[in-house]
Amino acid sequence: MPLYAPPIEHPHLPAADPGLLAAVVRGEARLTPEQAFDLFRTMPLTALGRWADARCRAVHGGAIRTYVIDRNVNYTNVCNARCTFCAFRRDGDEDDAYTLEPSQVLEKIGELVAIGGTQVLMQGGMNPALPLEWYVRLLRSIKDRFPGVHVHAFSPPEFIEFVHFFDPPGSTLEDKLRWVMVRLRDAGLDSIPGGGGEIFAPAVRRKIGLGKCDAEAWLTTMYVAHTLGMFTSATMMFGHIEGYADRVHHMRLVREWQDRALLEGSEGPGDQGIKARGPTASNPRSLDPSVPFGHYVSFISWPFQRENTPLGRVKDWLSRAEDSGEFPGDAVARLDGTGDPKAHAEFGRRVRMSGSTDYLRTQALSRLFLDNIYSIGASWVTMGPHVGQVALLYGANDMGSVMMEENVVSAAGTTYCLDEALLCRLIRGAGFVPAQRDNVYDVLRVHDGPDSPDLRVTDWSRHRTKRLHVERKPTANADAALTVSAKP
Ligand code: SF4
């Protein structure tokens, strides 16, 4: 008998039933997709936030909210996909296409370690010029020089392209992915980030993710990582052509595959004592290395950033006199992902951009619906520091990373960059004690004393939010050079 059992659904109850929501908060009941969709559309924002906050406090307590010090290293911007929402990719022969030398990656990680960083997040375009050996050598050199740094790298779309580029042995996609992943894991890869999730519904994905893997391949990649004992994250990028039902469907797939990982993980070898430390619905976290199965530990969602992207040039819904009635994305979207793109003639030709309240509503729903995911991250990188701070009261337990460098979202117009003192100040201002965590959400330092990064600051003028994306005139083979110094 597996020890993990998903909470029970009560499909006959109305979505806003206080008894149902109280049971969801305790981890004793699960929202159906229909109930989640109803809550999203009809519950007042502040009420939705209060329930999400209650669930967050049930899982994480009411004292501490976390952040991590890591660094995004985008090792190449050469990519053979053409996602319409992407301002980062380049063809290999463009002037400002780049691939970092391993020595440049090591230098960046050295700067990270110097400020107390614990993790490097490494993602790039899908660059057909890089052989498997390039990745193996890079990972080995990172682990040789910085054995204590956690390497969180290569999102599922990159892995799917590794399978295409490297043609590994195996008769199924799972076999091939496992062959590649084992080699990268043995070279130093610790876990896999959830990049490239976007929206899973095929009708949307085919319009915006040109050349990028489908949902099944994305989820299979993560499943293989879980079978190898890795902890991963899941993401969603919304606020473009999708309907609201697509967001629920996306979360539904994450929840279903998480159930699978948790069920198989709790069925795995080990005595009852090991299994007893496995995940439960009231505490959806099992990071016991004795359990040889990983799973998703976090979910983070953010709105589409439009600047410099082909999708960003698509007209806003209701910006034209002929726009009326239901938003095309809503006319197409189905909770089971079977939406027919022909259901509305304007589907894919109009965007519905997301604002702060839509973001908070979506994040709050993710906390309530994803009852088996431990951490919900606030997306201050796209939403700005203050909405990120408010997000801590709408279901998020984690403020993400002190941002030393980010090139992908910032290429689409986002410019927020916070140092550790600012991040701590935002968390404290929301009513919590800031704490630095590691990649698996273990707390490293609780900042409850006068030597806390924010409480030591006497002059905040030196800690203002910085521009993250610094445009530089393109030169041949130039690094994108978007780093902002962590020094004051
Ligand atoms: S989002 Fe990623 S996969 Fe898509 S074009 Fe940009 S770099 Fe390539």
- Model's pTM, two decimal places? 0.90
Taking the alpha carbons at both ends of the chain, their separation in whole angstroms is: 55
> Is any atom of ligand 1 closer than 6 Å to the C-beta of 156?
no
> Is any atom of ligand 1 closer than 6 Å to the C-beta of 79?
yes
Count CB atoms within 10 A of the CB of residue 186. 11
User: CA 250, CA 335: separation in Å to the nearest integer?
Assistant: 9
Task: Evaluate if residue 268 carries a pLDDT over 60.
Answer: no
> Is any atom of ligand 1 closer than 6 Å to the C-beta of 152?
no
> Is any atom of ligand 1 closer than 6 Å to the C-beta of 115?
no
> Is any atom of ligand 1 closer than 6 Å to the C-beta of 212?
yes
> Is any atom of ligand 1 closer than 6 Å to the C-beta of 90?
no
User: CA 40, CA 13: separation in Å to the nearest integer?
Assistant: 16
Determine the distance separating the centroid of ligand 1 and the alpha carbon of 125, expressed in angstroms: 6
> Is any atom of ligand 1 closer than 6 Å to the C-beta of 297?
no
Span 178-230, pLDDT tens digits? 999 999 999 999 999 999 999 999 999 999 998 899 999 999 999 999 999 89
Number of the ligand 1 atom closest to the C-alpha atom of 80: 8
Residue bearing the CA closest to ligand 1, atom 3: 81
Which tokens belong to 360? 């908070």
> Is any atom of ligand 1 closer than 6 Å to the C-beta of 89?
yes
Which positions ≥6 away from 88 have C-beta within 8 Å? 74, 77, 79, 125, 407, 408, 411, 412
Q: What is the pLDDT of residue 440?
A: 83
Q: What is the pLDDT of residue 479?
A: 32
Per residue in 385-418, is it b (16+ CB within 10 Å) or e — as a string?
A: bebbbbbbbbbbbbbbbbbbbbbbbbbbebbbbb
CATH tag, 64-463:
3.20.20.70
User: CA 377, CA 401: separation in Å to the nearest integer?
Assistant: 10
Q: Which of 86, 96, 99 to mutate to test the pocket of ligand 1 (most atoms within 8 A of CB)?
A: 86
Q: What is the pLDDT of residue 270?
A: 38
